[in-house]
């Protein structure tokens, strides 16, 4: 890799051991991916919780902190695995709880802003067209690349922290024009009236095209989608297809036309998604024993508008006995929602709201499932329906109002 004089100084250790080791790591990553140089980044979003990092990750973080590591750009953190107000109710491991607190302290000591949210792009920072960032959660990455036209790859925890220390990343992948061109076309003929519909599209498109560098180009929109709809689409594309970018003609900044989105590529496939395709998808889920003991609105965390919408749908209703409903969001969203009365309506209905976490990475989730006897997990999030299967839930995707009706009546439909 071609290094600038500043990067050579970093490599010599002029800026400290932590920066030197971070750049050495980034050089190895860059050489692996064939990068020729570094590009500067202005913002970092990193994953870092004890459930994902484990004791080995915590030890590594301690070593990094001892080297006086200090982030040189603004850094935010992804969702945690522990809401400290629910550790006893969920019977989470006290050792893991203590380690999570220690981990948060270490990050703050290195100048990381521990925001604990996977919707930073909605609530904290919106990069502009062409801006290079180093983001770590798959849902945040695809939103940054697609909706904002910013540039980032999926950065692991160590890679994101290294970028925060050096203020740069190796130039490969979606930092390059070559990988940002559309590769196939998706015609949207479906109405797409619910958030779950947009996630369903992500599943239908992502599953048969599981490739990081596949970039679908969406056409045929009946209206301009709102941010939450794009959020659910992107999260599902990343979850089912490992995709890091999409174009939407007339909506996303690099797709004023189909031709511009393709950038000279000839599409290898043209897909069409209809209402019938969505209905077949919803009907394809196995209801198993028919129990509706767990409904989850999470993965991604909910925006203020989603919390407001749910509060109106649950207003004056009660969650069915034997059924549990969880909602997760960030501190900022839930603080505002409480001031506006949305949280109170949900809590009055029997809904549990958790802050700063995502349900699928909750510490000890498999044991939590066993203790509660949960079988079916029902959600309007296609992403969580996909990813939480690792914890042996039987998952069912349903539209938002269907999820609410199931929660209240205790009957799956």
Q: Which of 359, 357, 380, 379 is nearest to 369 (CA)?
A: 359
pLDDT value of position 9: 98
Between CA 137 and CA 78 the distance in angstroms is 7
What residues does CATH 3.30.499.10 cover in the chain?
5-176, 286-409
Residue that is written with structure tokens 């890799």 in the block: 1
Cα angle 291, 294, 297 (rounded to 5 degrees) comes to 140
- The sign of the dihedral angle between the CA atoms of 397, 403, 409, 413 is negative
pTM assigned to the model: 0.97
pLDDT value of position 52: 86
**Residue 151, strand partner residues:** 132
Q: Is CATH 3.30.499.10 the classification given to domain 286-409?
A: yes
Cβ-proximal residues to 317 (8 Å cutoff; 6+ apart), any chain: 349, 404, 408
Cα angle 208, 214, 215 (rounded to 5 degrees) comes to 115
Between CA 98 and CA 193 the distance in angstroms is 43
DSSP state of 178: G
Per-residue pLDDT of the chain (413 residues; tens, 9 = 90+): 999 999 999 999 999 999 999 999 999 999 999 999 999 999 999 988 898 889 999 999 999 999 999 999 999 999 999 999 999 999 999 999 999 999 999 999 999 999 999 999 999 999 999 999 999 999 999 999 999 999 999 999 999 999 999 999 999 999 999 999 999 999 999 999 999 999 999 999 999 999 999 999 999 999 999 999 999 999 999 999 999 999 999 999 999 999 999 999 999 999 999 999 999 999 999 998 888 899 999 999 999 999 999 999 999 999 999 999 999 999 999 999 999 999 999 999 999 999 999 999 999 899 999 999 999 999 999 999 999 988 999 999 999 999 999 999 998 87
Q: Is CATH 3.30.499.10 the classification given to domain 5-176?
A: yes
Residue that is written with structure tokens 């695809």 in the block: 142
Question: Residues 203, 70: contact at Cβ < 8 Å?
Answer: no
For 58, the 3-state DSSP assignment is helix
């Amino acid at each position: 890799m071609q290094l600038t004089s500043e990067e050579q100084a970093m490599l010599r250790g002029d800026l400290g051991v932590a920066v030197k080791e971070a750049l050495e790591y980034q050089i190895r990553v860059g050489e692996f991916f064939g990068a020729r140089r570094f590009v500067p980044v202005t913002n970092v979003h990193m994953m870092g919780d004890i459930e994902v990092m484990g004791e080995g990750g915590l030890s590594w973080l301690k070593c990094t902190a001892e080297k006086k590591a200090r982030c040189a750009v603004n850094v935010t953190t992804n969702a945690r695995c522990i809401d400290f107000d629910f550790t006893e109710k969920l019977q989470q491991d006290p050792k893991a709880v203590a380690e999570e607190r220690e981990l948060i302290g270490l990050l703050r000591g290195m100048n990381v802003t521990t925001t604990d949210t996977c919707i930073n792009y909605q609530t904290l920072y919106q990069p502009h067209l062409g801006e290079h960032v180093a983001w770590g959660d798959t849902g945040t990455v695809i939103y940054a690349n697609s909706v904002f036209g910013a540039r980032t790859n999926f950065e692991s925890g160590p890679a994101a922290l290294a970028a925060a220390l050096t203020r740069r990343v190796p130039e490969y992948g979606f930092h390059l024009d070559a990988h940002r061109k559309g590769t196939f076309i998706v015609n949207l003929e479906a109405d797409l009236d619910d958030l779950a519909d947009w996630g369903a599209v992500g599943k239908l498109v992502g599953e048969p095209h599981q490739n990081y560098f596949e970039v679908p180009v969406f056409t045929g929109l009946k209206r301009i989608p709102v941010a939450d709809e794009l959020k659910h689409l992107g999260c599902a594309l990343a979850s089912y297809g490992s995709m890091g970018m999409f174009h939407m003609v007339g909506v996303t900044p690099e797709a004023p036309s189909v031709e511009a989105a393709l950038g000279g590529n000839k599409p290898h496939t043209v897909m069409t998604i209809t209402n019938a395709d969505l209905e077949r998808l919803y009907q394809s889920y196995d209801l198993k024993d028919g129990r509706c003991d767990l409904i989850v609105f999470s993965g991604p965390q909910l925006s203020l508008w989603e919390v407001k919408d749910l509060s109106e749908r649950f207003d004056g209703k009660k969650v069915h006995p034997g059924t549990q409903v969880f909602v997760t969001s960030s501190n900022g969203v839930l603080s505002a929602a409480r001031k506006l009365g949305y949280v109170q309506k949900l809590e009055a209905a029997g809904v549990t709201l958790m802050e700063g976490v995502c349900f699928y990475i909750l510490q000890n989730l498999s044991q939590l499932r066993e203790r509660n006897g949960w079988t079916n997990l029902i959600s309007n999030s296609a992403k969580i329906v996909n990813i939480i299967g690792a914890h042996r839930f039987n998952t069912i995707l349903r539209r938002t109002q269907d999820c609410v009706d199931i929660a209240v009546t205790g009957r799956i439909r």
